[in-house]
Amino acid sequence: MKIISFPPFALLLTIPLFLFTACEDGDDITPVDPDEDTTVVDVEPTYFAAANANTTITTIACTLSDGTETQCYQIVASSLVTDHEMGPWCPDNIADDASAGGIWLEGGEVYDVDGAFVENMADFYNDDTWLMYDANGDIYVTDTEEDCINAANPNVGDAYRNFCVECLPSYITDLSRTFIIPITPVPQTEAAFFAMNPGQITGPGLRGVALNGVEFSAAAPVNNILGAYTLAPFDDAGGHINVNQGYHYHAATGVSFSVAQTDGHPALIGYAADGYGIYGYDENITDLDACLGHYDDIRGYHYHVDKAGANNFINCLQGAYVEG
C-alpha cells in the first residue's frame, strides 16, 4: 500500500488517471485491496485551518469500527463559518428577487427561493393550503429565536403553518462541534451504509466534514417540513441553522472552501468520516460505486458528492470509521 501525505497546498502532479471499478451499474462497492500497491492519501489537516481559523485540530489515539487501533484527527469547529456568507434564507416579500432568499431542493433539482417561488407554492405543490404571504405580499417569516426553535419542531401544529423558517447566526453562541476521523483511511471489504431515512439509527451517523469544519449532514427531513406547511430554505451554499447543530450543509453547491486539482479533476471539498476525500460533483463521471466513490492513482479511493438537488452527499463509507 502506498500512503501519501501531501504538504499544505502542494500541487498535484498531472498524470493520466487510471480508474478501476468493480461494477458497471454502480450497485457494488469498489474493492480497495490493502495488500496491493494502491495509493492511500492521508487527511491533510492544514486545509481545515486555511478554511476556518476558528477550527482546532489535534492528533489522538482512536479505535475504528473494525477494531483497528490507529491515530485520528480530532477536529473542533465553531458552528459558524468564515469562508462564505451565511444566508439569506427567506425573502421578505413576493416581489423580491433571488438575492433576497436561499434555495430549496425538490425532485433532484435546486430552486431559488425568491418571492415568485413563495407566491406560487400552491401551484408548485398542487395544494391550495399554501399561502405564505399577506395581502401586501409580505411573507410570513420566523423573526425570533423562539420562533425558530418552535417552528423546527416536527409537531409544530398550526401555529407556524405557512411560515418561512430561518434561524439566524446571532442565535448561535458558544456552540462547537467535534469530529474524529482517521488520519489514514483503512479500507473495508464491505461498505457501511447510512440510514436512508432521517431519524433512523443504523450504521455510521456522520457522513463527513467540509474543509471549513461544517458537517455534511444527513438528508433534510423535507417531508416533515412540508407536512407542517412550513418552508426551511437552505442558503446558496446549501446550509441552514438549527440551534442544536448550528450551521450545517444539506447540499454541496460549490460555494464552500475547496482545494483545486491541477489535472482538471473536481476540487476537494471535505473528508468523509472514514478519512477518504470528498470531491465535487461531476455529471461526466460515470464509474462511481454505490457509495459514490472510485479510485485513481493520484487521490486513491475517494468520493464524489451527489448533485446538489439530491439532498444527499455520499451513500455509504468504504473505510473504517470511529463509532459513536
pLDDT value at position 152? 82
**Residue 260 corresponds to which amino acid?**
A
Q: Which percentage of the chain shows pLDDT scores above 70?
A: 86
CB atoms near residue 6 (< 10 Å)? 16
Pick the closest to residue 255 from 39, 140, 83, 67 (CA basis): 83
Per domain, the residue ranges of the chain are 98-172+222-248
Q: Tell me the DSSP string of 163-202.
A: EE----GGG--S-EEEEEEESS--EEEEEEEPPSSTT---
Q: pLDDT-based confidence at 212, cuts 50/70/90?
A: very high
Q: Is the peptide bond before 154 cis (omega within 30 degrees of 0)?
A: no
Instruction: Report the range of poorest mean pLDDT among 75-89, 98-112, 184-198, 278-292.
Output: 184-198
The model's pLDDT over 18-39, given as tens digits with 9 standing for 90+, comes to: 333 333 334 455 555 545 558 9
For residue 193, the Cα-to-chain-centroid distance in whole angstroms is 16
Could you tell me if 220 and 231 are in contact, meaning their C-beta atoms sit under 8 angstroms apart? no
pLDDT value at position 2? 42
With a cut of 80, say whether residue 315 has pLDDT above it.
yes
**Residue 71 corresponds to which amino acid?**
Q
For residue 213, the Cα-to-chain-centroid distance in whole angstroms is 11
The residues that bridge with 119 in the sheet, in sequence order, are none
pTM of the model: 0.88
Average pLDDT, the chain: 88
Pick the closest to residue 274 from 254, 308, 301 (CA basis): 301
For 215, the enclosing helix (H) or strand (E) is strand 215-216
pLDDT value at position 21? 34
Helix (H, G, I), strand (E, B) or coil at 216: strand
Q: Tell me the DSSP string of 80-102.
A: S-SSS-----S-SBTT--GGGS-
With a cut of 60, say whether residue 321 has pLDDT above it.
yes
Quick one: 324 exposed, middle or buried, by C-beta within 10 A (0-12, 13-18, 19+)? exposed
N- to C-terminal Cα distance for the chain? Answer: 28
pLDDT value at position 5? 44
With a cut of 60, say whether residue 199 has pLDDT above it.
no
Cell numbers 417540513 label which residue?
Answer: 225
